[in-house]
Amino acid sequence: MIRRAVDIDLTPQLTQSMRRLALLATLVLVLVLVPAQASAQRVQDTFFNSVIPTRVDHLIGFTPTTFAIHPAGKRVVPIVVRDGGRTHRYVFGNAAAAVGPSADIYLRNMINARRFPSPQGIFLDRRLTAAENRHVGVRLDLGRDADVLAVAREHPACTSGVSRAAAKGIAAGKIRTWSAAGVAMPGGGNTIALRRAGTGSGADVVAEPRFGADWKLPKGARAAYDGGLGEAASGNPAIAAVTSWSRARAYQTTTCAVPIGGKRPSDASVRNLSHPDAYPISFVTLRRLGEVRPIVAAFLKYLTSPRATASFRQRGMLLVGKPWPAVRGS
């Protein structure tokens, strides 16, 4: 089966069916139309499975799926790689991605099944542990981001900041007033209106896990794609926007990233991972890949291609080794 963006539920961790099964008839038709002379060697149709943590899904989306690798209506061009003295030509007719709150269970499963490697990889939103690093390696250091608590520009928290414990309590919905967070009461009142970056509605809401809070939206909180930045930018002093630096950096003239533990994020501190809430975004696979090594090499070649890079950039990824979009206030 060829896959694209249809949500699939692979583990009990997943809160809603998530992503990506593609239109078989469309791609097969396109493949039939590719001239035989396009390759002197046989083109192999293969698959690849990716895992995307919820926290970075907004930056990756459909990029690692058949839908994006071989866009419908365009000529399908095989990805050519050399491995072991041989030339391989691959078409990813079945590239799928699953989205879940954490990549941990997938990492464990991949390591446990390492004797039988398959074409798979994980977009990781943290560093590998020492134990994981024995069997799993970073194939692509892709981007940078950070957890951010943002408020309206003139909010007292912009100056006073909050403790790390308070930031975690706000994100988890356990601290519901500014005074309980150690912040002077703003002009609009003491109650915190929590907004969490996330998607879905009603029972299907999935919030991005940030500041240690899980994917479940706390009672009274609301999910918004930007994490509430737009509301905070309008001047609403009640809003506590729990979101990402990749989003918040564009709102620096109308909101502020609250200093947490005395440290406020910046492009520099996020880029070099010196800020405590910054994290790397990488693509990892097993170190020993056996017979699937050329397939993984072809997939990595796609991930570093102009097409994939443009897709990541369009979604707001702060790419490693490339200029970040200029924004006011940075």
Same domain (yes/no): 182, 237: yes
Q: What is the pLDDT of residues 32-64, one digit of tens each?
A: 434 433 444 799 999 999 999 999 999 999 999
Residue 330: inside a domain:
no
As a whole number of angstroms, the distance between CA 94 and CA 211 comes to 35
Pull the structure tokens for residue 103: 């990549």
Same domain (yes/no): 118, 151: no
Residue 31 pLDDT class (50, 70, 90 cuts): very low
Same domain (yes/no): 97, 191: no
As a whole number of angstroms, the distance between CA 151 and CA 317 comes to 22
Same domain (yes/no): 243, 204: yes
Domain range for 269? 146-278
Residue 139: inside a domain:
yes
Largest CA distance in the chain: 71
> What's the average model confidence in pLDDT over 280-299?
98
Is the pLDDT assigned to residue 148 strictly greater than 80?
A: yes
The average confidence (pLDDT) of the chain is 89
* Gyration radius (Cα) of the chain, Å: 22
Strand partners, 147: 244
What percentage of residues in the chain have a pLDDT greater than 70?
87
Same domain (yes/no): 180, 126: no
**E strand intervals along the chain:** 44-53, 79-83, 86-100, 120-124, 136-152, 193-199, 206-207, 222-224, 239-244, 255-257, 278-286, 318-319
Same domain (yes/no): 125, 168: no
* pLDDT score recorded for residue 12: 36
Contact between residue 168 and residue 257 where contact means Cβ atoms under 8 Å apart: no
Last residue of a domain, one of 246, 263, 278: 278
Q: Which amino acid, one-letter code, is at 267?
A: D
* pLDDT score recorded for residue 205: 87
Please tell me whether residue 18 adopts helix, strand or coil conformation: strand
Contact between residue 93 and residue 46 where contact means Cβ atoms under 8 Å apart: yes
Residue 271: inside a domain:
yes
Residue 52: inside a domain:
yes
Residue 5: inside a domain:
no
Residue 306 pLDDT class (50, 70, 90 cuts): very high
- CATH code for the domain in which residue 35 is found: 3.40.190.10
Is the pLDDT assigned to residue 24 strictly greater than 80?
A: no
Same domain (yes/no): 172, 251: yes
Q: What is the pLDDT of residues 200-252, one digit of tens each?
A: 777 788 999 999 999 999 999 999 999 999 999 999 999 999 999 999 999 99
Same domain (yes/no): 86, 155: no
Same domain (yes/no): 115, 186: no
| C-alpha dist (Å) from residue 157 to 10, 152, 192 | 41, 9, 12
Is the pLDDT assigned to residue 291 strictly greater than 70?
A: yes
Same domain (yes/no): 97, 62: yes
Contact between residue 258 and residue 149 where contact means Cβ atoms under 8 Å apart: yes
Q: What is the pLDDT of residues 265-281, one digit of tens each?
A: 999 999 999 999 999 99
Same domain (yes/no): 255, 295: no
* pLDDT score recorded for residue 329: 62
What percentage of residues in the chain have a pLDDT greater than 90?
83
Residue 287: inside a domain:
yes
Same domain (yes/no): 249, 307: no
* pLDDT score recorded for residue 1: 27
Residue 308 pLDDT class (50, 70, 90 cuts): very high
Count of the separate structural domains present in the chain: 2
Residue 7: inside a domain:
no
* pLDDT score recorded for residue 200: 77
Helices (H), 34-96: 57-60, 66-69
CB neighbour class for 137 (10 Å; exposed up to 12, middle 13-18, buried from 19): middle
* pLDDT score recorded for residue 188: 85
> What's the average model confidence in pLDDT over 191-205?
88
Q: Taking the model in full, what pTM does it have?
A: 0.86
Residue 231: inside a domain:
yes
